[in-house]
C-alpha cells in the first residue's frame, strides 16, 4: 500500500511526517534535519536551491531568494527571476517537491499523495493554491486540514467521552488559540481567536531595544545608525532568547565593535527574569485571547482536558506558567511544538490510506457576518463562532415609497456601526415591487460552506427578483478592533523605522521617500482614528518591512518582491 505523507508547509520551515509502526514520525531531509527551511533560491548558474542550501546563500543572493512564500499563497502576484515569473504556488511547489524527494529517499518508495495542513483561517483561495502547489510538485493533495486540528490529532484522543482540547499556537509572527471538542473520530472547533502580529519577532524586537539601550548607557555609543551591526544584534538576541528557554541566564555578546578609533565589546548577561518582564505584556495578550476563546467555547464552565502547544515561541517557559495559571490546567502537552502539526497531518494521512474517515471537522465563522441597514447600523445575521456549514435567512424591506432597488452591503465584524466593520462586498437588487415603504419583503439569505466561504443572496418575495454574491470572509484577527489595529500600526511604524535604520544607504532614494510618505500617511490615519486607512497602512507597512529585510539580506526574513500579475 502506497504511503501518504503529512506536510506542515510552514512560513519559516516545512516538516514532513509519516506513520510508521503505529506511530507518526518526522522524516529527516537529505541533510538529516527534521525541519527544512521554507526558502527557495535561484543560483546565478540557474539551479534551484531549496531548504538549507537556499537559506545559507540568502545574504549574498538576496534578490534571487524567496522566503515566507506562504504569506502570498492565493494572491495574484509573481516573483520574476531571469525574466520568468513564478507564482507563490510554483515557489511552494519547489519546497513540496523537495520534501517529497526526501520522503521517497527515506521510505524507499514513490510518494504520490499527501495531506497538507494550513492555518485554520486560510481562505478558500489560499486552500486551493495549496492544493495547486501540491499538484505542481507531483503530489495529489488528498486533504487540506487545519493546523490546530492537526495539532490536536497528534496529541491524540485519550479516554472515552468528549475531550476538550485547547491548542495554543505561538509562532514567529502570529498567534492562534483554538478550542476543539474531540469525541472518537469527530473533532469540532468550538471557538478560535487570533492575532496576526504577535510572536517571536516581537520578543526579538523588545530584547534588541533593551540591549541597544543598555549598550548606549554603558559605552556612550549608539548603534542604531549602523545597519550591519544592528542586523547582527537582531540575530544575536534571537539566539539569546532561545537559550533563555532552557537556561535561567544567557549571555549576549558581540565583541570588537569598531567605534571611532577604538574597539568596544558588547557583552551582557540577560536573566530569564528580565526577559520575562520585557515580554510579559505581549504574552499576557495571547493568554487573554486564549481565555476569550475558552469562554466562547464554553470550556470555562466544564473544564479543559488538554492544552496542546504549537509553534516555536510556545517553548518559552513564561508562556507555560502563565497559561497553566490562567486556564487552571495542570498538564501541558509539550509534543515537539515545531513538529506537532506535521505529525497530526501524518495521522490523518494514514487514516486516509486505510480508507478510514478519521476526522470529521466542524469549523466556525471567525467573525460575525451581517448587512448594513439604512441608518448605517450593522445587523448581524451570523454571530461569531457560529458552526459551519450554516444557512440563515432574514426578511428586510424598503425605506422609501416606490423604491425599486436596494443595495445589500455585506460586512464582517463586531461593531454595531457598519462603518467600523470590514466590508466584504455589495450588490444591488433591482426589480422590487413598487409600493409603500416597509411593504416589500426582501429576503436575504446567508450561507457559509464548509470551506468558510460565504454566499449571500437576496430576493424579492413578491416579484421573485434575485441577486447574489460570494464573499471571502477574511482570516480572523483580533487586531481588527479600532484600539488593536491602532496598536499594530504603531508597532509597525516603529519596526519600519528601525528596519529603515538597519538598511541605511542600501535603500534607494525613491524607496526611502515612499517609506517616509507611508509613515506620515499612517500617522495621519492614527490621528484621525481612520480604521479603514489604518488597515491599508498595516498591509503596506508589512510589505515595506519585508522589502527592507530583503535589501539588508536579513537571514530568515528574506522575501522576493512580487509584482502584481
Where does this chain bind ligand AMP (CB under 6 A)? 10, 12-13, 171-172, 199-201, 238, 241-242, 245, 311-313, 315-316
Tell me whether residue 87 or residue 245 sits nearer to ligand AMP (CB atom): 245
Closer residue to ligand AMP in complex, CB, 311/344? 311
**Smallest distance from the beta carbon of 242 to ligand AMP, in angstroms?**
4
Q: Which three cell numbers, joined as nine digits, stand for 80?
A: 520574476
The C-alpha cell that represents 273 in the structure block? 527574569
Cα separation of 362 and 185, whole Å?
12
Cell numbers linked to 314: 510556545
Residues tagged active-site: 8, 70, 147, 169
When the beta carbons of 247 and 524 are compared against ligand AMP, the nearer one is 247
**In whole angstroms, how close is the CB of 486 to ligand AMP at the nearest point?**
24
Smallest separation (angstroms) from ligand AMP to the CB of 241: 5
- Please state, in angstroms and rounded to a whole number, the distance separating the CA atoms of residues 548 and 500: 7
Inter-residue contact 284 to 149 (CB < 8 Å):
no
- Nearest approach in angstroms of CB 309 to ligand AMP is 10
Rounded to a whole number of angstroms, the minimum distance from the CB of residue 154 to ligand AMP is 14
As measured in angstroms, the least distance from the Cβ of 548 to ligand AMP is 18
Q: How many CB atoms lie within 10 A of CB 122?
A: 22
Q: Please identify the residue of the shown chain whose CB is closest to the bound ligand AMP.
A: 200
Q: Which of 350, 365, 435, 256 is nearest to 5 (CA)?
A: 350
Distance CA 195, CA 126 (A): 18
CA dihedral 156→159→165→171, nearest 10 degrees, is -30
Cα(347)–Cα(115) distance, integer angstroms: 9
The Cα–Cα gap between 165 and 380 comes to 29
Q: At 388, is the secondary structure helix, strand, or coil?
A: strand
Q: Which is nearer to ligand AMP, 312 or 479 (CB)?
A: 312
Q: For residues 37 and 58, give the distance between their C-alpha atoms in angstroms, rounded to a whole number.
A: 12
> 153: which 3 cell numbers?
490529532
To the nearest whole angstrom, how small is the minimum distance from the Cβ of residue 247 to ligand AMP? 11
Q: What is the DSSP string of 228-293?
A: HHHHHHHHHHHHHHHHTTT-SEEEEEEEEEEETTEEEEEEEEEEHHHHHHHHHHHHHHHHHHHHHH
CA distance 126 to 132: 10
- At residue 514, the 3 state secondary structure works out as helix
Q: CA 12 to CA 324: how far, in whole Å?
A: 28
- The nearer residue to ligand AMP, 13 or 123, going by C-beta atoms, is 13
| Choice between 297 and 316, CB closer to ligand AMP | 316
Between 183 and 336, name the residue whose CB sits nearer to ligand AMP.
Answer: 336
Torsion over CA of 460, 461, 463 and 469, rounded to 10 degrees?
40
Amino acid at each position: 500500500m502506497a504511503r501518504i505523507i503529512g506536510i506542515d508547509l510552514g512560513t519559516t520551515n516545512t516538516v514532513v511526517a509519516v506513520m510508521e509502526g503505529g506511530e507518526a514520525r518526522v522524516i529527516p531531509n537529505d541533510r538529516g534535519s527534521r525541519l527544512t527551511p521554507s526558502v527557495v533560491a535561484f543560483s546565478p548558474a540557474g539551479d534551484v536551491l531549496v531548504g538549507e542550501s537556499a537559506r545559507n546563500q540568502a545574504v549574498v543572493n538576496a534578490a534571487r531568494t524567496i522566503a515566507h512564500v506562504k504569506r502570498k499563497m492565493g494572491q495574484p502576484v509573481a516573483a520574476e527571476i531571469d525574466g520568468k515569473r513564478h507564482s507563490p504556488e510554483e515557489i511552494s511547489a519547489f519546497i513540496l517537491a523537495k520534501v517529497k524527494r526526501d520522503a521517497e529517499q527515506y521510505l524507499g518508495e514513490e510518494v504520490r499523495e499527501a495531506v497538507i495542513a494550513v492555518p485554520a483561517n486560510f481562505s478558500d483561495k489560499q486552500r486551493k493554491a495549496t492544493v495547486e502547489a501540491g499538484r505542481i510538485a507531483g503530489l495529489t493533495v488528498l486533504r487540506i486540514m487545519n493546523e490546530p486540528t492537526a495539532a490536536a490529532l497528534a496529541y491524540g484522543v485519550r479516554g472515552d467521552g468528549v475531550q476538550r482540547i485547547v491548542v495554543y499556537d505561538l509562532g514567529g509572527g502570529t498567534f492562534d488559540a483554538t478550542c476543539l471538542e474531540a469525541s472518537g473520530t469527530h473533532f469540532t472547533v468550538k471557538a478560535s481567536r487570533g492575532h496576526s502580529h504577535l510572536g517571536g519577532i516581537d520578543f526579538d524586537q523588545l530584547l534588541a531595544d533593551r540591549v541597544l539601550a543598555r549598550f548606549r548607557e554603558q559605552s556612550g555609543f549608539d548603534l542604531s545608525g549602523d545597519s550591519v551591526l544592528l542586523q547582527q544584534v537582531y540575530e544575536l538576541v534571537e539566539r539569546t532568547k532561545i537559550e533563555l528557554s532552557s537556561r535561567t541566564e544567557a549571555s549576549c555578546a558581540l565583541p570588537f565593535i569598531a567605534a571611532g578609533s577604538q574597539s568596544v565589546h558588547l557583552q551582557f548577561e540577560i536573566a530569564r527574569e528580565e526577559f520575562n518582564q520585557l515580554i510579559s505584556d505581549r504574552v499576557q495578550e495571547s493568554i487573554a485571547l486564549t481565555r476569550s476563546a475558552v469562554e466562547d467555547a464554553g470550556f470555562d464552565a466544564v473544564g479543559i482536558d488538554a492544552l496542546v502547544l504549537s509553534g516555536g515561541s510556545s517553548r518559552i517557559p513564561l508562556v507555560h506558567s502563565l497559561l497553566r495559571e490562567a486556564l487552571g490546567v495542570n498538564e501541558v502537552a509539550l509534543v515537539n511544538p515545531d513538529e506537532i502539526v506535521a505529525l497530526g497531518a501524518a495521522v490523518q494521512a494514514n487514516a486516509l490510506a486505510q480508507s478510514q474517515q478519521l476526522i470529521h471537522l466542524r469549523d466556525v465563522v471567525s467573525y460575525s457576518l451581517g448587512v448594513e441597514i439604512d441608518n448605517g447600523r450593522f445587523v448581524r445575521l451570523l454571530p461569531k463562532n457560529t458552526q459551519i456549514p450554516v444557512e440563515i435567512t432574514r426578511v428586510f424591506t424598503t425605506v422609501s415609497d416606490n423604491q425599486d432597488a436596494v443595495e445589500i452591503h455585506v460586512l464582517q465584524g463586531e461593531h454595531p456601526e457598519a462603518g467600523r466593520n470590514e466590508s466584504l462586498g455589495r450588490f444591488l437588487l433591482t426589480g422590487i415591487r413598487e409600493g409603500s415603504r416597509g411593504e416589500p419583503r426582501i429576503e436575504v439569505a446567508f450561507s457559509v460552506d464548509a470551506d468558510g466561504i460565504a454566499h449571500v443572496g437576496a430576493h424579492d418575495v413578491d416579484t421573485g427578483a434575485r441577486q447574489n454574491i460570494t464573499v471571502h470572509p477574511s482570516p480572523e484577527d483580533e487586531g481588527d478592533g479600532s484600539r488593536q489595529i491602532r496598536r499594530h500600526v504603531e508597532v509597525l511604524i516603529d519596526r519600519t523605522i528601525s528596519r529603515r535604520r538597519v538598511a541605511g544607504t542600501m535603500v534607494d532614494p525613491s524607496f526611502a521617500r515612499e517609506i517616509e510618505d507611508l509613515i506620515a500617511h499612517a500617522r495621519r490615519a492614527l490621528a484621525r482614528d481612520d480604521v479603514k486607512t489604518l488597515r491599508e497602512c498595516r498591509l503596506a507597512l508589512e510589505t515595506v518591512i519585508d522589502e527592507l529585510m530583503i535589501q539588508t539580506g536579513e537571514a530568515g526574513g528574506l522575501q522576493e518582491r512580487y509584482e502584481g500579475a
